[in-house]
Structure 1
């Protein structure tokens, strides 16, 4: 970055690097407001490509009565907080940034904006050039419990004032960001396989005697071992620890289901061999197992939202909505969740698909490459195999969103 006075996008990029240094870290997720997704910030003032790359992904997330410049979830280091973090859940963090303009730096306004976010955020910060923070600003920030991050010309970020973590009320928008930061959040690697049997087989092989990977291969369950483990974790069947994998209560219930019907998990795994390379809908091929998979899939938060809103569309007379129609409808009622669930997180897609006000642009929604493969391909395929949807999913490269139907198999 240049040594010129720091602009607001530059300040925000430095602050994001300090607060969220590892984007792929477990329990971490952050988005920056869509106003920063364009090529310009102020008239004639371009946003550098490296800055936009740092700021991505973009979304328009309402927190309090407005839209913070950055909102994310992460367990913060003690030096960023006034007291040690209490509890295990990482805090929801909101950041307002202010840079140098022809009127100076409006630090006071940034503090007041950040304070407003504490209605729903656990911690709020204002990020500003370090030399723009006055003693009056620091006093106001302390009184309002707002953290102040001072950014110098080199990009170094220091906490000038540290906030206390506070409780808040849960909202749909904040819940969507928390969901993305969780082990079940939608990411490029969340679901690598498109059949629920591959994930049901993992806790069985893990429980059985012998190598989990070898058992999955020997019984022709799945050879993509890492994808099976990762998907089982996303569905809440196993808990991935740094040194081991453990069955969750839901995973143990899958084991109980198998033992009750076959006497042991080895007998259940042998049954999986009968389904090897079958293209038939699992709901019709193995109804009992598909019902079990349906319960597992329905415990996944995104499934519940999709089913309820597809039912609402049916009630309104839309029995066979296309992907484009579904996304446009969902964005009206769950905007943040819809963007995170369906649209790829890279700079190109989000900046083209979303206006600076967070509205959807029609043209990118008609392009298959705009969508998250784990949602439109793998998750949809599993919803089909468990008898929830009428049609399979498709890879984004082969997807026509205007013809891709999302319809419930059973409507009530």
Structure 2
């Protein structure tokens, strides 16, 4: 069966119309609902090229149902009332047809998109352009929903612009995707640094007198980009159009450095003396490790991992594998778990079309982001949250132990 404008092809064209620069625009991020991971669509075999364009995938559960795509960031197309939101949340509902594109149910897609507007800022329906009529355009305008007319799997245009609306409380799913949108360009599949002093040192270098990059390279580590990304990721530094500023949390780190060492310059000299030391940070610099721990626990993936380990501990599993941690984390917050643990190019295998975790895939070490079991786990070890550091050996990932240093609840 030949099909050029079934829903997967329609959605791929619509996604690239709204977010053409997603691979280079740091403020944009999208996920496609897991139903699109299936190999066929109504008897039509979905081309691998279409699935690649639709990735990454995640489960998308909103109160109004499961939209086909969730996007973060201002679309590249015309948007009405765009000043009402600087970083809007967008949904797309795709409608197509396997044999006759003019038969796509556009009105249903409009109503579905409208049903999500209590939780998002922008709603679109995407459909073959020949299926859109004046009646449906009027309905879309009335309901503040945009229409994307798809001419081919590679080409689409805005038929009716969407209007920004004020979303209410964001769901767990939206919060997880918004979090990933703010961090995915910083992590790029791995945590940027593997020792707390490297992101704390960036704060000191930024606050001290002199050139930040030169100070960081001299006193901390010759990897400025990674240190900067770690500091931004952990909410110590705010990257603004005017330049970099310390957040309130970053300022507290700088104040602590002055209190401990008398000046930022002397603090940097102390950091320099720690370079190359493999000693656990809790032993090397206990008070600084406590500061780093306070920073780390504010990071949402840390909260998720700690919650999962606490839950496992209460269930009698004191020493867990990464597969057990990931499975338990998915029970707590499925969409955030997917974003934190699993490689983008393996999500099709980890997630079922129904949005569940395929537990059999958790025993494949290649599905995990290297940053989770290497750099990020090393951070949690150095600040005293877990008992062992990370590994970059894929063969040892599944046997590597995850255990809380001090669980709150005992059995």
TM-score (norm 1): 0.91
- The Cα of 1:178 is off from its aligned counterpart by 0.6
> Structure 2 matches for 1:13-162, cutoff 5 A?
13-23=12-22, 24-43=24-43, 45-77=44-76, 79=78, 81-88=79-86, 90-102=87-99, 104-153=103-152, 155-162=154-161
For 1:377, the equivalent position in structure 2 comes to 374
Q: What's 2:406 paired with?
A: 410
How far did 1:370 drift? 0.9
Match of 2:326 in 1: 327
Q: Which residue of 1 aligns with 2:217?
A: 217
Distance 1:185-1:315 versus aligned 2 partners, 3 A rule = farther
Q: Say if 2:5 and 2:128, in contact at 8 Å, map to a contact too.
A: yes
For 1:365, what is the secondary structure of its paired residue? Answer: helix
Alignment of 1:275 with 2:274, yes or no, is yes
TM-score (norm. length: structure 2): 0.92
Shift of 1:399: 3.8
Could you tell me whether the CA contact under 8 Å between 2:190 and 2:372 is conserved in 1?
no
Deviations, residues 341-398 of structure 1 (Å, cap 9, x unaligned): 100112xx01111111112223321122211122222111111100011111222634
Q: Closer, same or farther in 2 for the Cα pair 1:396/1:315, shift >3 Å?
A: same
Counterpart of 2:169? Answer: 169
In structure 2, relative to structure 1, the CA distance for the partners of 1:238 and 1:121 (3 Å cut) is: same
2:3/2:98 contact within 8 Å kept:
no
RMSD (Å), alpha carbons: 2.1
Tell me, what secondary structure is at the counterpart of 1:266? helix
Residue 234 and residue 154 in structure 1: after superposition, are their counterparts in 2 closer, same or farther (change >3 A)? closer
CA 1:11/1:396 → structure 2, altered by over 3 Å: closer, same or farther?
Answer: farther
| Further displaced range: 69-78 or 386-395 | 69-78
Question: 1:19 deviation in Å?
Answer: 1.1
Report the 3-state secondary structure (helix = DSSP H, G, I; strand = E; otherwise coil) of the residue aligned with 2:90. Answer: strand
Name structure 1 gaps, 5 residues minimum: none
Please give the residue correspondences for 1:4-15 in structure 2 after superposition, counting only pairs within 5 Å.
Answer: 5-15=4-14
Query: How far is 1:290 from its partner?
Result: 0.1
Q: Does 1:352 align with 2:335?
A: no
1:394 aligns with 2:364: no
Deviation at residue 129 of structure 1 after TM alignment? 0.7
Structure 1 residue 268 displacement after superposition: 0.8
Aligned residues: 403
